[in-house]
Structure 1
Amino acid sequence: MQAICLAAGLGTRLRPITYHVPKPLFPIAGRPNLGRIIDDLNRSGFQHIVINAFHLKEKIKEYIVSNHPDCVISEEDELLGTGGGIKNASRFLNFSSPILVVNSDVVTNFPYEVLMDYHKGNNAFATLLLTDFGPLNSIKVDDEKVIGINTGYREACLCFTGISVISPEFLSMCPNRYPFSSVDILKEAIKSGKAVRYLQGEKIFKNFFWQDLGTPKGYLKAHELFLNFKGITPPTLHQDLKVIDWAWVDEDVKIPAHTTLCRCVVWPGTEIKTTTSFKDMVLTPYGVLNGG
């Protein structure tokens, strides 16, 4: 099975950190999220994985070459959009069989092979993984089909997780201009009567979780969900460090005793010089993000 991981975005909502570290390499519990996704794909049976890269692509290339050399990198000289990124990567993919597409800024425990198997069994144009996520619900559904995207209605709507399977027909519907979104292709497919199906994560697995880490708040929530699901006790540097609720403190940090952390993530290389309290924050060597 084959997959493409979309990792080209600018990460504007996570600036100034993303001026220095591309969003796909933001660590979750001390490890780049892109690496966690690749490992999950491998465990699910996906052996051919393509990663598109644009923003800080040299850093993504360096990480992939050092840690996941079997993956293929599809470089972009300009942002091509989600659909454009898939089309540009088509030279590395076999478009005679379905392709799993996953955004590099999501954290989930959903087994990717389940979505692929469902897609293959229904002969769909595309199959989306959806979830009920309140204000982000914009995918209108009816029975097992998607009937509208970004409709402006909330009734019978779900949230797109950024994870989908596309059929070989997807490529034939791509325009010859860039950039363009995969959502535009899906809208066109629905309009022309093609079957766009979906699975709802929490209806399949009782302990399902999903979080987009594209904002400071989302990044902190992704940590919390991941740590709870894995049952990981976050490391602390010494017993005088006070933690309220939870905090992840990575190795190689300098933090005074008696500092209080509440729902915080501290990256390696971070130095806190004065004792104080931090709440809902991401502390890094490149700056601080407020997720409150």
Structure 2
Amino acid sequence: MKIIVPMAGRGSRLRPHTLTVPKPLIPIAGKPIVHRLVEDIAGVLNQEIEEIAFVIHESFGKKVEEELIAIAQKLGAKGTIYYQNEALGTGHAIMCAKDSLSGPAVIAYADTLIRADFDLDATADSVIWVKQVDQPEAFGVINLNEANEIIELVEKPATFVSDLAVIGIYYFKDVAVLKNELQLVLDNNIIHGGEYQINDGIKQMMAKGMVFVPGKVDEWMDCGNKNVTVETNSRLLGFLHEDGQDLVSSSVVSSNSTIIQPCFIGEDVILINSTVGPNVSLGNGCHVKDSTVINSLIQNHSHIKNAKLDNAMIGSHASFDGNFTSISIGDYSVLE
């Protein structure tokens, strides 16, 4: 089994945090989004992962590439790097990894996290993972026949089709079939919204009689902008706490301070006269003094004092001193 992860977009809606770090490497509950994503997929598949191919922008740099290779190796897989240097759509991004498009594979876009527990239908040609939503008109949804097979993909339907939204994770029994169809999309310049789309390849597969079925996830957590990323951090901390995971490092130094679970607190964190939690992630090397922090995501080596933070997102190596609450400041920022 292979996992293909298109992740070349910088994540403009999550600026300033993505000015220095690609969105898929933003830590959620102490671990990069893309790391959690491939772990979750590997857990659902319950199969040996042979290769994880990451499609990135060349500007991400060698350090990011090394981090991604390390993520693959932790799962016992080969890590491969491909480049998509032009924003030409999902279909184009997948074809940038065409040398890895063979055999069974999962394609997953690295801006979402899931929790799921189901058996993969290995008899189907493809599985499209979906989540039941309250406002299907805001999403791409699937249309099912009486045999529970997907017969249509409908983008933001004006009239009700179904409430099962496509979340951007797909399984293909032989991803080479998708590669062939996407090559036709590129060769014939089939463009929607100015981009080459994965859906055009999928629709051609459906037209040839290939069987697509839904895989339903229990939770679908977005990381598109600051507010939903902080919310996702809070939700994931709650799930991990329910699973019995202790996410507070033994190296934390606490003086006259209280930790209210669920929280992730990394290595070498110092807490002085502060209350942290619930729903807080503090990265390695953070210092928090004379502060109250709830429902917030703070990355590595940042210093917080005299603060009352709620719904805050702070990058790495930042310094914050003040009485602001719902803030979003990036790496190396200083507010004093």
Partners in 2 of 1:78 and 1:48 — Cα distance?
24
Structure ID, larger Rg:
2
Structure 2 contact 5–52 (Cα < 8 Å) conserved: yes
Contact 1:148 1:190 in 2 (8 A): no
Q: How does 1:118-133 map to 2 (within 5 A)?
A: 118=121, 120-122=122-124, 124=125, 126-133=126-133
Match of 2:240 in 1: 230
SS in 1 for 2:271: coil
Are the structure 2 counterparts of residues 238 and 269 from structure 1 closer, same or farther at C-alpha, using a change threshold of 3 Å? closer
- Partner Cα distance (1:282, 1:249) in 2: 10
Contact 1:252 1:269 in 2 (8 A): yes
What amino acid maps onto 2:49 in structure 1? F
Q: Which runs of 5+ in 1 are unaligned?
A: 202-207
Distance across 1 between alignment mates of 2:206 and 2:134: 23
Percent identical residues: 18
Which residue number corresponds to residue 231 of structure 2?
221
CA distance in 1, matches of 2:127, 2:220: 17
Given that residues 149 and 187 in structure 1 are in contact (C-alpha distance below 8 angstroms), is that contact kept between their aligned partners in structure 2?
A: no
Q: 51-60 or 276-285: which moved more?
A: 51-60
Equivalent position of 1:102 in the other structure: 108
- Verify: 1:240 aligned to 2:273, yes or no: yes
TM-score, normalising length from structure 2? 0.72
Task: State the shift of 1:19 in Å.
Answer: 1.1
Aligned with residue 197 of structure 1, among 193, 206, 213: 213
1:76 Cα deviation (Å)? 2.2
State yes or no: 1:82 paired with 2:90.
yes
Shift in Å at residue 22 of structure 1?
0.2
Does 1:280 find its partner at 2:285?
A: no
CA contact (8 A) 2:131 2:166 kept: yes
DSSP 3-state at the match of 1:131: strand
Task: Give the Cα separation in 1 of the matches to 2:13 and 2:107.
Answer: 22
Instruction: Tell me which amino acid in the other structure corresponds to 2:196.
Output: F
Whether 1:63 and 2:67 are equivalent positions in the alignment is yes
**Corresponding residue SS for 1:36:** helix
Report the count of equivalent residues.
274
Q: Structure 2: how far apart are the matches of 1:127 and 1:107?
A: 17
Q: For residue 161 of structure 1, what is the aligned residue in structure 2?
A: 167
Residue in 2 that maps onto 1:264: 296
Following superposition, the deviation at residue 42 of structure 1 comes to 4.7
Contact 1:7 1:52 in 2 (8 A): yes
Structure 1 CA distance for aligned equivalents of residues 50 and 202 of structure 2 = 26
Looking at structure 1, the residues matched to 328 and 234 of structure 2 have their Cα atoms a distance apart, in angstroms, of 16
Unaligned stretches of 5+ residues in structure 2:
246-261, 319-326, 330-336
**What secondary structure sits across from 2:288 in the alignment?**
coil
Deviation at 1:98, TM superposition (A): 2.9
Q: Separation in 2 of the partners of 1:35 and 1:191?
A: 35
